[in-house]
Amino acid sequence: MWYQWEKTEHNRRSAMHATTRIFSIGFVLLTAGLLGGCGSAPVREVTAPRISTGAAYRVVQIARHQVGAPYRYGGDTPRGFDCSGLVYYAYHRAGIDVPRTTRQQLRYARPVSMSRLKPGDVLFFRVSRRKPSHVGIYIGHDRFIHAPSSGKRVSYASLDNPYWSERVVAAGRFQHQ
């Protein structure tokens, strides 16, 4: 009987010791994790300087007024637009100088994550080449305005459409100069 009590008492103490040890290890790990977070610089997305909200609104409104204009390769007037010509025209009319071609616009725009898009930002797509070859103006709610291709007209499109969501490769924001 004495032996049975001693064995039971030993098992109880071992279980308590194991529980205490697990709790202690967990506490140490939790504390180290919290302190480790304090010791390192927080990861923060750097956003580019942005054009004023009023200018971004003007860019979107100007682009909206061009919906229905014909596509024309090399075009940057209401008589006909290609994709980068539409971006160039809308920004230029809003008083913001941006480059003329998609490739130059991609280089000039400050990168923006898709989760931080704002109306007036630009979206770049890889359509038929290895490099981005198409651009549109983001207008909010996962929609954008663009000059799609020959035979079509300036129109609205959605990032909810798998064709566009699979091809978007970058987003950018132009700064006011």
Please tell me the distance from the alpha carbon of residue 12 to that of residue 3, in angstroms, as a whole number: 14
Which is the catalytic residue, given 17, 92, 134, 141? Answer: 134
Residues 6 or more apart whose Cβ sits within 8 Å of residue 133: 102, 125, 126, 127
Q: Is there a catalytic annotation at residue 92?
A: no
Query: What is the average pLDDT value for the chain, to the nearest integer?
Result: 79
- Cβ atoms of 87 and 105 within 8 Å: the answer is yes
Please tell me the distance from the alpha carbon of residue 136 to that of residue 152, in angstroms, as a whole number: 15
pLDDT tens for each residue of 5-21? 344 444 545 544 444 44
Token pair for residue 125? 């797509």
The sign of the CA dihedral 53, 58, 63, 65 is positive
pLDDT tens for each residue of 67-125? 999 999 999 999 999 999 999 999 999 999 999 999 999 999 999 999 999 999 999 99
Q: What's CA 166's distance to the chain center, in Å?
A: 14
Q: Is there a catalytic annotation at residue 17?
A: no
Which is the catalytic residue, given 17, 83, 92, 176? Answer: 83
Percentage of the chain beyond pLDDT 70 is 69
Q: Is there a catalytic annotation at residue 146?
A: yes
